[in-house]
A and B are shown apart, each in its own frame.
Chain A
Amino acid sequence: MTQVRPPSRRRLLESAGAVPLLFPFLRRARAAEAPAREPRLVLFMQTNGTSTKQFFPDATFKSSAILDPLLSDQALRTRTTVIHGLHNRQGGAGNGHDVGFPGLFSGYRSIGSFNEPWGGGPSLDQQLKRQLPLTEVFPTLNCGVLATSAPVWKQHRASFSYVAARQPVPTEANVYKLYAMFFPTSTSGGSSGDSVMAAKRRLLQKRTVLDFVAGDLRGLRARVGALDRAKLDVHEGALREFEKRLGATVAEGAPAQCRSARVPASGLDLAVEDNIPQLARLMSDFVALALACGQTRMVTYAMGNGGERWWYRWLGLNENAHEDIAHRDFGDNQAITAKVVKIGRWHAEQVAYLARALDAFPEGDGSVLDGSLLVWGNEVATGTHAMENIPIVTIGGAAGRLKTIGRLVADGAQPYHRLGATLLNLMGVRTAGFGEEPACGNLSGVDIA
């Protein structure tokens, strides 16, 4: 992957301007005429597979047992694409969960030992972060809903975003903390005159400290080998993002909700599994707000750790969905499959909820959903670790770049790498391949501008 799209006129304008030294440090207002903006991307990960028979709709694209929450809503159905036929046959360290969780959106095989397999290369969001000229204060948001009654010590399954091989980006599951980080004014009611001066002084002091730290990073970088340089580059990138965020407020032209954002008062226990339905709503509301307000461009959203062991009591189930349900779904037991369908539908409802939340923000002629691509994937195809027909759904038009929408794409068997290649191209990175397959090409049957 090489070429990067030229930055838009708006971005050139933005980067040409000096940061105004006023408090609050207003970021330059986004152009009101709303030119074609760069697409946003959400990678939503379900785990433990699905029932592929109950998942894929037929060519009429009217319904499927699992996708009904999306397909029964005309507004969503016309912007949904279901991709059939993707396979992941590349193998890797560990079992299907270990291969698929870090693999699907990275294109790399997992590496390491059976007990401790790690992602083998950078994930899509981190690849894009390196290659796109991004101006958002948080270029990527790596979040999820990780409450679980079975605490995970398999930390290689706690994130599907990787900076590089064996270097996962932690998944932030604390939505309250995210509000405070992304919307600093969400924790207080604004500033009075005195505190404005104090805040301004404090801001300058923080910048001075960061300059010192940046100097140390540069000095150290000059003394280390290539592997450590890569790590320090990530560190310095984190510093730059932090610096950009200091004193940053929401853009002038942004939706009103961006300025009135408040940390939700619910105070849910993030570790309690029965809170998951509410936590998922909170997180989806937050993700939509962060994208609509221009605080971030790319989101990884983990609905559970890889190979999650939720009990889905809120669905009336009360079994370990990994061992007791997914692993037993060989397709020959209707009672088991019915439970898999129930779980799959719940995930479809979560995706639909997030899509509607994005759609609620108008933008140009359409909505933020039209300017985005929401991709719903799964680490494995079925609970018995099948890797054929991995269920993939996209919603949104990627700012007009995705031409194939409102239908099922079933163009034979295709390596899953083509999904990643297609997403890179949609996001503005011209490439013929993805991950370990540099020449896999785009998805067959999908047209992109």
Chain B
Amino acid sequence: MRVLALAVAGGVGCVGNAGGSATMVPPMMAPPLALDPRPDEFTYPMLPGAAEPLVPPTAEAPGPAPTTARRLRRLSNVELVNVVNDLVGRPLVLVSAFLPDPRANGFDNNATVLGFSGSRFDEVAALAEQVASVVTSAEELPRLAPCAAADSLVACARRFITGFGVRAWGRPLADDELARLEAVFRAGADGDSYTAGIRMTVEALVQSPHFLYRTELGPGVPVAGALRVTLTSHEIASQVAFLVAGSRPDLELLAAARAGRLRDAEERGRQVRRMLTLPAARARLRGFLKAWLGLDHIKQVSKDLLYYPEATPELLAAMDRETDTFVDHVLAQDSGVLGELFLADYTFPGKELKSVYGDDLRGTSGDFVKVALDSTRRRGILSSPAFLASHAALEATSPVQRGLLVRSRMFCQEVSPPPPGTVTDPPRASDMLITTREKYRRHADDPVCRACHQLMDPIGFGFEEFDAIGRRRLHEYGTVVDGSGELKLTDVDGAFRGPAELALRLVQSRMFWDCVASQLFRFGEGRAPGGTDAGEIGAVGAALEPGTRRLEDAVVAYVQRPNFVRRLAADAPAEVAP
């Protein structure tokens, strides 16, 4: 990130159970049933227990140094839930109330920030019990861990562990892992029951770090002096699967990994294009876009009900659903043309939003169906109530927040923080019956404030014709609102009026598209880009070709980079910024 503006010193005051006691499961002759609602899904395949052979570091292909170090990534809450649901084949209502994941730059998958804690261990233990009780329930056990009367219990358990383990950990289990899990099963089956043994193995699989983290380590331990490692085939499969679907690899990816095909960039691209048609991928990419644009907490946004009595939970929920519907529409159209996200002259408002849009709609708003917008007033996501309400204060708009969001998330430029001791909250609306723009006048008049605020406020002023819940407004306290904004220090500098005109400028900006690539890279890598990542980000950005700018192309370009499958053998220095 480029840091703009000088750090300024001094100057205070810019405006400031388990499944019963059954011991034997009735014989099961039929193969397991398909149980996952997702169309590509499958039952647990019988895969060999042996892990893939180690690739000696000497077999390393030459090429540019990787930019990410070998590491572990704790699954985010969202990812963990996806993996569990895929594993049991249906969405569970989890007993565990995981505390929220910390976010970095909007994303909840930052590898540095995601750590472990005592309370998380408790939640995971409860989750493991829940998954185990589902697997060992009377309905599921015959399907997931069948055991014919003629079979030995241990043989049945081994078969279960092998198949279930692949899904749980996203890779075949090594022989010693199988042996240890078999010992866990015996400890449960001896003196208790087959069911108890299966329950314990499920608990062990779910509580294992191999379930709770994903590895980007390559095979074994790097030999002394090694500079880089190539990820194992199954690690590559996980990389693809978590990026695109937010979960562990599906059957096709596992098969490709087992065949060693994922070291081939073309195959990775093919897998991504296949997976992007799945609902799970739609949800994942929607999540990426919403986190990037700061839209994923709209339902938790609170407004001062004195000024915005309309801001009910129902209204906020309608904003969220409109956003989801619109984003899904864009992603489904022609593989996700990103320009459409910003330029669309239509939206999908629910009837709750009718009063917010007023006469900006060129049609009747139904129940989240497509309606044309007056495109001189509103276009795309920047004009959406969700965006405008998310990036505003409790009782008023916030030109600073809106400007900073555009500056940092759309141009990837960081603005220096205010000097220590600055009260950074603006005066309340009730303080002065003057327009919001006037309230921020000191930011322009005081040179100390201006140094940084000239980079934010003038952009935010361009949104002033929209209030803190996204309604268009012409007056504030009897004064006509001035909705003119200005971009500076970009490659599309100049005056604009309203988010629709801003959007038209943004899509012309190379800096903006490079920033989109940078955000995708950040989401994929789970870390802040550094100086050595410019080449990688450039390659992703290059795939966002003018005329199309398809998200799918960028994702494919990203997974096809050699960097995607390789890691530095040594620890990375601690990040400067997440």
Q: What is the distance, in angstroms, from B196's C-beta to the closest C-beta of chain A?
A: 7
- Asked if B415 is at the interface (CB within 8 A of a chain A CB), the reply is yes
Tell me the nearest residue of chain A to B570, going by C-beta: A225
Q: Are B74 and A226 in contact (CB under 8 A)?
A: no
Contacts A95-B424, A115-B404, A149-B302 given; indicate if A155 touches B184 (C-beta within 8 A): no
A324 to B421, CA, bound (A): 18
Which one, B102, B414, B425, contacts A156 given CB within 8 A? B102
Encode B238-277 as 1/0 by CB contact (under 8 A) with A: 0000000000000000000000000000000000000000
Q: Is A437 an interface residue (CB 8 A)?
A: no
> Is there an interface contact between B72 and A118, defined as CB atoms closer than 8 Å?
no
* B574 A227 Cβ-Cβ under 8 A: yes
Encode A69-112 as 1/0 by CB contact (under 8 A) with B. 00000000000000000000101011110010000000000011
Is A213 touching B208 in the complex (CB atoms < 8 A)?
Answer: yes
Tell me, in angstroms, the Cα distance from A321 to B348 when the chains sit together: 38
Chain B, residue nearest A231 (CB): B115
Question: From residue 523 to 563 of chain B, which have CB atoms closer than 8 A to chain A?
Answer: none
Partner of A385, one of B117, B207, B423, B428: B423
The minimal Cβ–Cβ distance linking A446 to chain B, given in whole angstroms, is: 27
Segment among B119-127, B326-334, B468-476 that sits at the interface with chain A: B119-127
Check B578 against A112 for contact (C-beta < 8 Å).
yes
B221, B422, B428: the one contacting A95 at CB < 8 Å is B422
Is there an interface contact between B217 and A223, defined as CB atoms closer than 8 Å?
Answer: yes
Contact B122 A242 (CB under 8 A): yes
Complex CA gap A142/B128 in Å reads 23
Query: CB-CB < 8 A to A96: which residues of B?
Result: 420-421
B104 at the interface (CB under 8 A from A): yes
Total contacting residues, chain A, CB less than 8 A? 74
Instruction: Name the residue among A140, A171, A320 with the largest chain B CB count within 10 angstroms.
Output: A320
- The answer to the question of B200 belonging to the interface, with a C-beta cut-off of 8 Å to chain A, is yes
Q: Is B507 close to A, CB under 8 A?
A: no
* A167–B110 alpha-carbon span in the complex (Å): 11
A238/B116 in contact, CB under 8 A? yes
Contact status A320-B421, CB under 8 Å: no
Known contacts A163-B117, A209-B204, A220-B209; A153 and B16 CB within 8 A of each other: no
Is B39's CB within 8 Å of the partner chain A? no
Which residues of A132-189 have CB atoms within 8 Å of chain B's CB atoms?
Answer: 138, 140, 142, 149-151, 153, 155-156, 158, 163-172, 174, 181
Residues of B within 8 A of A171 (CB): 99
Which of B404, B424, B428 meets A324, CB within 8 Å?
B428
Report the nearest A residue to B572, measured CB to CB: A227
Query: Which of these, A111, A116, A242, contacts B125 with CB under 8 Å?
Result: A242
User: B107-136 vs A: 1/0 string, CB under 8 Å?
Assistant: 000001101111111100100100000000
Within 8 A of B (CB), among A319-378: 320, 322-324, 327
A225 B70 Cβ-Cβ under 8 A = yes
Q: In the complex, what distance in Å separates the CA atom of A181 from the CA atom of B428?
A: 43
Does A227 contact B71, Cβ atoms closer than 8 Å?
Answer: yes
Bitwise, B212-235 to A at CB < 8 A (1) or not (0) is: 010101001100000000000000
B362 within 8 A of A: no
Interfacial chain B residues near A194, Cβ < 8 Å? none
Q: Verify if A113 is at the interface (C-beta below 8 Å from B).
A: yes
Residue of A nearest to B102 (CB): A155
Of all chain A residues, the one with the shortest Cβ separation from B1 is: A113
> Which residues of A lie under 8 Å from residue B424 when comparing CB positions?
95
Neighbouring B residues of A205 by C-beta, 8 Å = 187-188, 192, 196, 200
Q: Does A19 contact B (CB under 8 A)?
A: no
Q: Given A93, A149, A163, A222, which contacts B115 in the complex, CB threshold below 8 Å?
A: A163
Chain B, 281-320, CB within 8 A of any chain A CB: 297, 300-302, 304
Whether A201 pairs with B119 at a CB distance below 8 angstroms is: no
In-complex Cβ contact of A213 among B122, B209, B297, B414 (8 A): B209
Interface residue? A384 (CB, 8 A):
yes
Interface flag for B191 (CB, 8 Å): yes
Instruction: Tell me, yes or no, whether B486 is within 8 Å of chain A by CB.
Output: no
Known: A115-B404, A217-B209, A232-B209. A227 touches B428 (CB 8 A): no
- How near does chain A come to B111, taking the closest CB pair, in angstroms? 9
Would you call A114 an interface residue if the criterion is a C-beta within 8 Å of the partner chain's C-beta atoms?
yes
Report the bound CA distance from A380 to B417 in whole Å: 18
| Residue ID in chain A nearest B302 by CB atoms | A150
Q: Which of B458-513 contact A (CB under 8 A)?
A: none
Residue of A nearest to B297 (CB): A153
With a 10 A CB-CB cut-off, give which of A94, A112, A149, A241 has the most chain B CB atoms: A112
Find the residue from A93, A216, A220, A234 having the highest chain B CB count within 10 A. Answer: A216
B239 to chain A, nearest CB (A): 17
Q: Is the interface of A mostly helix, strand, loop or mixed?
A: mixed
Residues of A within 8 A of B102 (CB): 118, 155-156, 166, 168
Q: A94-B417, A116-B103 are in contact. Are A208 and B184 (CB under 8 A)?
A: yes
* Contacting residue for B117 out of A153, A169, A209, CB 8 A: A169
* Interface pair B115/A224, CB less than 8 Å apart: no
Q: How far is the CA of A55 from the CA of B228 in the complex (A)?
A: 59
Residue of B nearest to A218 (CB): B209
**Do B192 and A201 touch (CB < 8 A)?**
yes
Q: Tell me if B339 is interfacial: C-beta within 8 Å of chain A.
A: no
In the bound assembly, the distance between CA atoms of A308 and B423 in angstroms comes to 15
Q: Is A387 an interface residue (CB 8 A)?
A: yes
Q: Is B163 an interface residue (CB 8 A)?
A: no
- Expressed in whole angstroms, the Cα–Cα distance for A224 and B421 within the complex equals 41
Give the chain A neighbours of B217 by CB distance below 8 A: 223-224
Inter-chain CA distance A149–B303, complex, in Å, is: 10
The residues in A between 382 and 398 inclusive whose CB is less than 8 angstroms from any CB of B are 384-387
In the assembled complex, which residues on chain A have CB atoms less than 8 Å from the CB atom of B188?
205, 208
Does A447 lie at the interface of the complex (its beta carbon under 8 Å from any beta carbon of B)? no
B401 to chain A, nearest CB (A): 9
Shortest beta-carbon distance from B249 to chain A in Å? 19
Question: How long is the Cα–Cα vector from A217 to B116 in the complex, in angstroms?
Answer: 13
Query: 8 Å CB contacts to A: which residues of B411-465?
Result: 414-418, 420-425, 428
Given contacts A99-B420, A114-B415, A220-B209, contact A234 B116 (CB under 8 A): yes
A209 in contact with B192 (CB, 8 Å): no
* Contact pattern, A 232-254, Cβ under 8 Å of B = 1, otherwise 0: 10110111011000000000000
User: Is B69 on the interface with A (CB-CB < 8 A)?
Assistant: yes
In the assembled complex, the Cα of A95 lies from the Cα of B400 at a distance in Å of 15
Tell me whether B577 is interfacial, beta carbon within 8 Å: yes
Q: Is A23 an interface residue (CB 8 A)?
A: no
Residue A212 lies at the interface, judged by CB distance under 8 Å to chain B: yes
How far apart are A380's CB and chain B's nearest CB, in angstroms? 9
- A24 beta carbon closer than 8 Å to chain B: no
A228 to B572, CA, bound (A): 11
Interface residues of A in 186-225 (CB under 8 A from B): 201, 204-206, 208-210, 212-213, 215-217, 220, 222-225
Give the distance in Å from the alpha carbon of A384 to the alpha carbon of B425 in the complex.
10
* Residue from A155, A206, A215 in contact with B103 in the complex, judged by beta carbons closer than 8 Å: A155
Indicate if B408 sits at the interface (CB-CB under 8 A): yes
The CB with the most chain A CB atoms within 10 A, among B16, B69, B72, is that of B72
A/B interface sample: 20 pairs, CB < 8 A: A113-B105, A115-B408, A138-B118, A150-B302, A151-B297, A155-B101, A155-B102, A166-B112, A169-B119, A181-B122, A208-B187, A212-B208, A217-B209, A224-B217, A225-B69, A234-B115, A237-B118, A238-B121, A327-B425, A387-B421
Beyond contacts A94-B417, A111-B577: 7 other A-B pairs, Cβ-Cβ < 8 A, are A150-B302, A164-B115, A166-B112, A181-B122, A205-B200, A208-B200, A220-B213
